[in-house]
Structures are given as C-alpha cells and as structure tokens.
Structure 1
Amino acid sequence: MMEGETYKQIERFLSGAMSDTEMEQFQKEILSNSALKEEVALYQSINFHISEKVADDHISYDSEYKRKLEEYIRSEQGKKIQATLLEEKQRYHNKLSQDKSNKSMLYYILSTAAAVVFVIVFFFMKNSDKDLYTDYYKIEELPSFTSRSGNSSLLASAKSNFKSKQFDKSLSNFKEYVKNDVEGVDPLIYIYTGLIYSEKNQLEKAIEQFTFLENSDDIDNSRALWYKVLVYLKFDKKVEAKKVLAFILKDPNNYKYKEAKEILEKLKL
C-alpha cells in the first residue's frame, strides 16, 4: 500500500491544488510509475462518482477495467465505501484547515483513506474473478464462415481485425461485406458485429445484431441467444439475461444448453 504522503499528493493533483511546476512533475511520475498510475485512476474514478462531476482526463486506463470498476462502485458495497471515503476526505479537509501543523492526525486520516481505497480494490478484484461474462466468453469459440462470392478476403480481414481489437476497422469490413455480397450474407457475421457494438458500449445495437441471426433460418441461429446472454451479463442486465437463459433451456438442442443451465444456477445464488 502506498504511503499517506502519496495520497496527499493524489488529492492535491485531482483537486487542482498543485502549482504548474508540481503538476508537471507529478504527471511525469505517473507516466513512469504504473502502480501510481493505477492508484490515481482509481482515486479519480471514485471522486467522479462521489462528486457526480466530469473529471479531467488526466489518466487513461483500460475501458473494460473502468466499466467493471464503475459497476462495482454502483453496487451496494461500493456505495458504502463511497460514503466512507467521502467522510474521510471531509475530515481531511476540515482538519487541515484547522491545524496544518498536526502531522500525526493528518497521517492518520490519510492512512485511513488509503485503507478504504485498498478495500475497494480488494472487493472489486474479488468480484471481477466471478464475472460471468469473462468466465464464459471464449473468443476461440466464435464461428468461422465462408463466402460464395469474391468477398472471402474481406471476411478474413474483418475477422482478423476483430481478433486484434481493431473494432472500427472490423465493423467497416463487415458492413462492406453485407453491402456487396449479393449472393446472400452469412448470418453468423452478426455475432461479430453484435460483439463489436458491445465493445463500443452500444447495448441496443448489439442485441439488434444478434436478433438478425436469431430470426434467420440458419441452422446455428440459437447461437444468437447465447451471445445475447453474454452481452446482457457484461452490461449487468441480469433480469434480461435470465429471460434469455430460460428460453435457451426450453430446448436441449440449443447452443450452449449446458452452460446456460450453469449460469442460471449461478445467478440464483
């Protein structure tokens, strides 16, 4: 765990209390210290939810990590920790204004705030380990497809860009394929486009893509149900996920029937 003095610096950094020179120096430290970068990102995200203000984008961090963190912060446990952190921050500011020379009390308050951040990380990482989307989404299980027209290279590029997480390029490839393949679009591509919209945080569009596959006459159209479940879980839409899971379990021949049963049991816990 970082020292109390570091958290004092983070608080001053995010509140704009640093001078231009201090700000520049601290930003250099953040860039060279990955542990400090993570602490600032975490503290910044918590401050954002406490104040309900748009934070300055001093730090960039993984969007998936951020999404999971924000989901946890919105949970009951997260709200309790927010309240505790807010109380400690207020105590810190009040005490600092009353007696700037009382270093022992200042260190105690900062250490308590640091402990609160540690608890957030502990519970957040514990929850992440149980993330059903992460547990059940397997990129190697995504379908392969062929094109009867001359668009096979376009589909190959789309799939390659998807796997390398170049989602905008992949989506553009798939759109071009749909537009130009007059001999009939392979509906399995909608699994990919749905997942791309999911990565772009566009849930409704993602579900719409899966529905295109679900409503097709493709022999594998039940795959659409499975990916609907996964995306609903990713966005913490458990009620919707349960409804689709129940539909999957109506027919043992549906794709991922066994796994759907497992997830439904876990959601009941």
Structure 2
Amino acid sequence: MKDYPIEIDDYLSGAMSASEKQAFEERLRTDSALAEELKLQKEMLTMYEDQQWLEGDRDALKTKEAKQLQSFFESDEATSLKSTINQVITENRSGSKHKTFWFIGIAASIAVLLTVSLFVFKENNYDELYASYVHMDEIPSLVTRGEDTNKLLENAQLLFEDKKYQEATESFAAYHKAEEAIDPLSYIYNGMAYTELNKFDEALSQFELLANSETLQAKKANWYKALVYLKQKKKRKLTDVLKSIIADKNNYKYQEAQELLEKID
C-alpha cells in the first residue's frame, strides 16, 4: 500500500527537500490517486485556517450557507476548536509517527464538520422559529373605518402590507416627524419593517419608543424585541427578554414566550 499520507504530510509541512518536492509535484501530474489525496488533505486543513477561508471563492462566500459558516469560524467556539486542533497536530508533527498525524487530521476535520453542522442546524432552526412566531396579520390596523385617517399613516401601512419595507419605514418616518400625537401601533409596524430589512438597531429603537409610550400597546414591546433577537440569533438577549415576559402571566404573549424559551434551550 502506498504511503500517500506520509508523503502528503511531508509536502504540506515543508519537510521535503527541494529535489523531493520537485519529484512529488511531477508525480501529481500523472498519479490521480495521489492528487486526490492531496486535495482532500488541503480541504481538511482549510476548514480551520481563517486566511484560506477568507481568500476563497468570493461568489461562494455570498451564499447564505457560506455566511453562516463564516459567522461560525469567527465565533469564540470555533477559535477554541481550531486552537485545540492545531495544538494536537503540532505535537504529533514533532515526532516521527506520520500516520498518527494523518488520522488525527481526519478525526479533527470530522469534529469540525460535526460542529459546523450543528451550528448551521441551529442557525436554520432559529430562522424557522422566527417564521413560525411572526404573524404580521395580527397587528391591529392603523386604518379605522368611518374615521379620517392620516394619509401618511395609511400609505405606510399599505406599503408594509405589500412588503415594501424600505418605503414603509420612510413613510413612517415622515409621519413621526409631522405628527405630535403618534399612534403607538406605528412603532410596531415600523419596527417590524426594520426587522425584515435586518436593520436591528432601528427596529429596537422603535420598540423602545413603544415601551415608553405610556399606552395600552406599550406592554407588547418586549415580545417584539424578542422577535428581533430571535431573527438576530442572539440567544442570551432573547432568553433574557423572554424570561421577563414569563415573569407575569398577564404579560403579552406569555404562552408563546414560554414555548419559545423551551425551544431555544
């Protein structure tokens, strides 16, 4: 059996002499099995080397899955994992047991794959939870039949219902600037429009205005903040606000908050 793992380890670690390296690279042109093994080992190494990830295919990095993976690689969890892997590999390279390094490399890569898979699962799970708990149609209408309705407000709601969220936020901004007596429901609409646009700071500011509005709608603010944190996948902040909701059974969306808290644990 050919000792491809040993040769590849020497090649990638720079242990080959100039003549050995030249001979190895010449064999790559004709030995497809060797070339495939080298490709596999490089891919495994790429999983925990930030620079290669960042310098990879730029188009591939634009996909949702790639952004999720990049987010994982930038996390503290990934940094700790990569540090452990590199430490083990360095320790085993210092000896002469190349095959040990090869199998450790495979095991480490599997560990990375499992961790990444779990991370992506969690990411997708949060997306599904957000979709299941957001009910735009349950927000009371800003338009009251038989009464004169502010045209800016009416237009903003229509834009929101058409999912033209950017235009909706602009119309709500014009309404908030023009009026002194603000309909608190407009903060909910505007905040959710910002949430759909992934403008989370702006969304939270709207729900903070709602919380401080001293109206009956103010009690809904924490639930809508929870939706923002859910879409952001900020578990700690989401957990904190959900716990504040379930502290009192009379709070808005008490039951939903309790269910969601159990699902994210």
Relative to the length of structure 2, the TM-score reads 0.56
Match for 1:199: what amino acid? E
Q: Distance in 2 between matches of 1:60 and 1:163?
A: 32
The residue number in structure 1 matching 2:225 is 228
Assess if the C-alpha contact under 8 Å between 2:68 and 2:120 holds in 1.
Answer: no
Within the candidate set 158, 161, 165, 1:163 is matched to: 161
**Is the aligned partner of 1:139 residue 2:136?**
yes
Cα distance 1:82–1:231, how it changes in 2: closer, same or farther (>3 A)? farther
Assess if the C-alpha contact under 8 Å between 1:191 and 1:227 holds in 2.
Answer: yes
The alpha-carbon deviation at position 205 of structure 1 amounts to 2.2
Match for 2:166: what amino acid? D
Q: Distance in 2 between matches of 1:247 and 1:265?
A: 14
Secondary structure of the 2:237 match is helix
The residue number in structure 2 matching 1:212 is 209
The residue number in structure 2 matching 1:194 is 191
The residue number in structure 1 matching 2:125 is 130
The alpha-carbon deviation at position 226 of structure 1 amounts to 0.5
Cα distance 1:67–1:213, how it changes in 2: closer, same or farther (>3 A)? farther
Cα distance 1:226–1:123, how it changes in 2: closer, same or farther (>3 A)? same
Secondary structure of the 2:217 match is coil
Q: Distance in 2 between matches of 1:70 and 1:161?
A: 34
Assess if the C-alpha contact under 8 Å between 2:68 and 2:123 holds in 1.
Answer: yes
Secondary structure of the 1:185 match is coil
1:46-102 per-position Cα deviation (integer Å, ceiling 9, x unaligned): 99x943758886579677x7765654555688779999xxxxxxxxxxxxxxxxxxx
Q: Distance in 2 between matches of 1:164 and 1:191?
A: 16
The alpha-carbon deviation at position 194 of structure 1 amounts to 1.7
Unaligned runs of 5+ in 2: 1-45, 84-109
Match for 1:219: what amino acid? L
The alpha-carbon deviation at position 214 of structure 1 amounts to 0.9
The alpha-carbon deviation at position 233 of structure 1 amounts to 1.7
The alpha-carbon deviation at position 232 of structure 1 amounts to 0.9
**Is the aligned partner of 1:257 residue 2:254?**
yes
Within the candidate set 172, 175, 180, 2:173 is matched to: 175
Q: Distance in 1 between matches of 2:80 and 2:252?
A: 40
Unaligned runs of 5+ in 1: 1-45, 84-114
Match for 2:239: what amino acid? K
Secondary structure of the 1:226 match is helix
The residue number in structure 2 matching 1:10 is none
Task: Report the aligned-residue RMSD.
Answer: 4.3
Q: Which has the larger radius of gyration?
A: 2
Secondary structure of the 2:218 match is coil
Q: Distance in 2 between matches of 1:69 and 1:143?
A: 38
Assess if the C-alpha contact under 8 Å between 1:226 and 1:256 holds in 2.
Answer: yes
Identity level (%): 33
